[in-house]
Amino acid sequence: MKRVLVACGNGIATSTVVASKIREACEDAGLNVSVNQCKLLEVESKAADYDLLVTSGMFTGGTVNIPVVSAIALLTGVGEEEAMEEILDHLK
């Protein structure tokens, strides 16, 4: 099972929307994933336990050793399909 960490400013609002979309897309694609949320400030301390980091804000909190995907497109709808495809590619 792949693990996805979704981060936004407070770990509540936009990360909930993004996490829901990722769960739904993974289920449709037949991928078994675990999706958790956190604050952007918590990313550096939590990222090592995950396979992918998806952010709805600008991550400038340090260095992580996992792929990072911006999820702004999942919120705006502009380029949403391409962003989700990038996320799914990392999880396959």
Predicted local distance difference test score (pLDDT) of residue 62? 74
Conformation bin of residue 14: beta by default, left when phi > 0, alpha when psi is -120 to 50: alpha
Secondary structure letter of residue 30 according to DSSP: T
pLDDT at site 11:
85
Q: Give the per-residue pLDDT at 20.
A: 97
Q: What is the pLDDT of residue 87?
A: 98
Q: Which one of 3.30.420.480, 3.40.50.300, 3.40.50.2300, 3.30.360.10 gives the CATH number of domain 2-91?
A: 3.40.50.2300
Give the pLDDT of residue 61. Answer: 64
Residue of 8, 26, 47, 69 with catalytic role: 8
Amino acid (1-letter code) at residue 41: L
Beta-ladder partners of 38: 7
Q: Low-confidence residues of the chain, pLDDT below 70? A: 61
Decide if 8 is catalytic: yes
CB 54 within 8 Å of CB 23: no
pTM of the model: 0.94
Per DSSP, 40 falls in state: G
CA nearest neighbour of 18 among 41, 47, 44, 38 = 38
